[in-house]
Amino acid sequence: MIPGGVNSPVRAFNAVGGEPFFAAGGEGAYISDSGGGRYLDLVCGYGPLILGHTPPVVVEAIRRQAGVGIGYGAPTEAETELAELVVKLVPGIEMLRLVTSGTEATMSATRLARGFTGRRLVAKFAGGYHGHADHLLAEAGSGAATLGIPASAGVPPEFAALTAVLPYNSVAAVEEFFAARGDELAAVIVEPVAGNMGVVEGRPEFLAMLRRQCTAHGALLVFDEVISGFRLGLGGAQATLGITPDLTCLGKVMGGGLPLAAYGGRAEVMTHVAPVGDVYQAGTLAGNPVAVAAGLATLGALVDNPPYDALDRAGAAIARGIESAAAKAGVDITINRVGSMLTPFLAPGPVVDYASARASDTRAYARLFHALLRAGVSVPPSQFEAWFVSLPLAESHLDEALAEIGGATETVFRR
């Protein structure tokens, strides 16, 4: 009844073989399946569950709001409260619009960039995933830039032809593209910390170059922080980098596990969004009061007691444990980690872009995945996804996680 039995392809186990488990519940650092299995969770809903499963502060906020209304189709004071908090925390946002998914956020941000600049061309980076809007489902070929190759059936080549795909972290190739076509660009959209080719950190000099080139050529710089926003710090990756984009896309942690996302940026740009401006975007469930309540509770908890040092220490410990097991077995492995996001690549490395990520041994990763699952640890069923650490795991279950991860990885690598 459901294609592939899943409502998002990444949930299937196609990349690693076998059948997915069906989730039945979650508490703290653990997720449970319908067959009675229980796993330490390093998927964390693919990022949102920074506070773990069913954190009391978020559950109570959802319950309280659901008791007075689950949807109105009218503005609420809570929406403004959330917007004010995000504007306070994220350097690049002066004004924002709430939406329901990361795909909506990136689709709307690129439409806005085209409307603001009057240009059509958008640049993205190979291996960067920005949701499934037609014009962002373009993939890279060879050379410095590839135009017009759809990555999905159903995407007209004409749509994909309006997207340039550039090599991530390559200053020289991107500068060459700007020199040739920079004045045609409406926007460059980039993950400052990529999460869907596995974790690959944008080099500071690369991201600083993008800021300079966009400014020089009149294009908008769009940071896709759907994954990194509030996951790596209260101000996102941009606060740590000291690089301010023109537009920012947020999601995942912002909604506390419920469907909530946003795009925002300079007021000069955002005032082009309807009903103030002529760039149309709308949504019946945008700013849903239950999702906003969950988001406010999650961000409030992060502001009151920032967990980022503890999450960073836990992420580092997990990375060291895997590296140690691989070293004992003489297995080539590269672990990319930024705070509580990490990916073990079964490759000698370094992994700095999509091409080097694709050099990983995906069959070895599949063996690692199943060994971890048998040991009671749930990780993404793809080499090219990020693993995430939650606060309950960092605070109370790190030793257990290290023992189970270490034992499973040693078993696999010694075969």
Q: Which residues are catalytic?
A: 129, 224, 252
Token reading at 11? 């949930």
393 and 401 in contact (C-beta within 8 Å)? yes
Reading phi first (left if > 0) and then psi (alpha if -120 to 50, else beta), residue 152 is in beta
What's the CA gap between 341 and 327, in Å, rounded? Answer: 21
User: Cβ(269)–Cβ(54) under 8 Å?
Assistant: no
Cα angle vertex 302, ends 270, 257, to 5°?
70
CA atoms within 13 A on the CB side of 27: 2
